[in-house]
Structure 1
Amino acid sequence: MKAPVAAAVVHRDGKILITRRAPGQKLAGMWEFPGGKLEHGETPQDCITRELREELGVESVAGEILTSSIYTYPGGTIELIAVSVVLQSIQFVLQVHDLIEWVRPHELLQYDLAPADVPIAEEIIRTYG
């Protein structure tokens, strides 16, 4: 059974938003596209809007699904669904992350990304260079 998880792909000025998991969190110190698990009956778009509000304190508009990846962690298998997102503000209030970065697509793989996020980064690089 795969747990569906939504991840935000946010573009701004030719850069992509990534966030680093704070100490004490699962995958602490690793970078990811922000997001979280879908709740029952939620679409990936509904989920990502809620998660960005909860985790980063920002309102957003979720668009199309870009790609997805399946990855098995020791605790179980997830399907990471990448959703194109436009932020309404960038006044971030970090809850489960300790850093945010705006990076050019071709620089994404220079970061220590969570394993499930790597195929999404590769797809972003293929799509946006």
Structure 2
Amino acid sequence: MNDLHSTTHGDRRTMKQVAAAIAISGGKVLVTKRAGDQALAGMWEFPGGKLEPGEDVQSCIVRELREELGVCSTAGEVFMTSDYIYPGGAISLIAIEVALHSHCLALTVHDEHAWIAPGELLSLNLAPADIPIAKELMKRHAAN
């Protein structure tokens, strides 16, 4: 289990599985701010969404980026997983490395997007499940 403010004995099969995109360009990572009518409104996150039944995480992130940002992408490897218990239920946030085919985004469920240096991620009001992923990005990019 990762170092999280999370589950200590959760079973991932009962957790909602959510894919999150780790898209890096020019040394900066893409983050999006949740719209006012969404859960966690006003918080920043790595874009993505819930896995559909029978869907693998790579297919999910490609679909979610197309639906939420209007962008085509290619999914890569799992970067890491962050488990977190929100008041509405537990999630397993699976961060996937992705390559975007365009940086021309059309926001549908977010108010804003930004490309942020990994070292600046914790200055944002990040959703709790995204914080361990941000910390790991900072650690890996500091080592490069």
Letter in 2 for 1:67: M
What corresponds to 1:24 in structure 2? Answer: 37
* 1:91 to partner: Cα distance: 1.2
Aligned equivalents of 2:57 and 2:139: distance in 1?
22
What corresponds to 1:101 in structure 2? Answer: 114
Give the secondary structure class of the aligned counterpart of 1:50. helix
Give the secondary structure class of the aligned counterpart of 2:114. strand
Of 71, 83, 87, the residue aligned with 1:74 is 87
Q: Deviations over 1:21-59 (max 9, x none)?
A: 011111110000000000111111100000000000000
Aligned equivalents of 1:91 and 1:104: distance in 2?
19
Q: Which runs of 5+ in 1 are unaligned?
A: none
Letter in 1 for 2:97: S
Aligned equivalents of 1:24 and 1:61: distance in 2?
29
Give the secondary structure class of the aligned counterpart of 2:37. coil
- Greater Cα radius of gyration, structure 1 or 2: 2
Of 25, 38, 42, the residue aligned with 1:12 is 25
- Identical counterparts, % of pairs: 57
Q: Deviations over 1:66-88 (max 9, x none)?
A: 10010000110000000000000
Aligned residues: 129
What corresponds to 1:88 in structure 2? Answer: 101
Answer 1 or 2: which has greater strand percent.
1
Letter in 2 for 1:22: A
What corresponds to 2:66 in structure 1? Answer: 53
Of 60, 63, 75, the residue aligned with 2:76 is 63
Q: Tell me the TM-score normalised to structure 1 length.
A: 0.99
* 1:128 to partner: Cα distance: 1.1
Aligned equivalents of 2:15 and 2:84: distance in 1?
9
Q: Tell me the TM-score normalised to structure 2 length.
A: 0.88
- Aligned CA-pair RMSD: 0.5
Give the secondary structure class of the aligned counterpart of 2:53. coil
* 1:90 to partner: Cα distance: 1.2
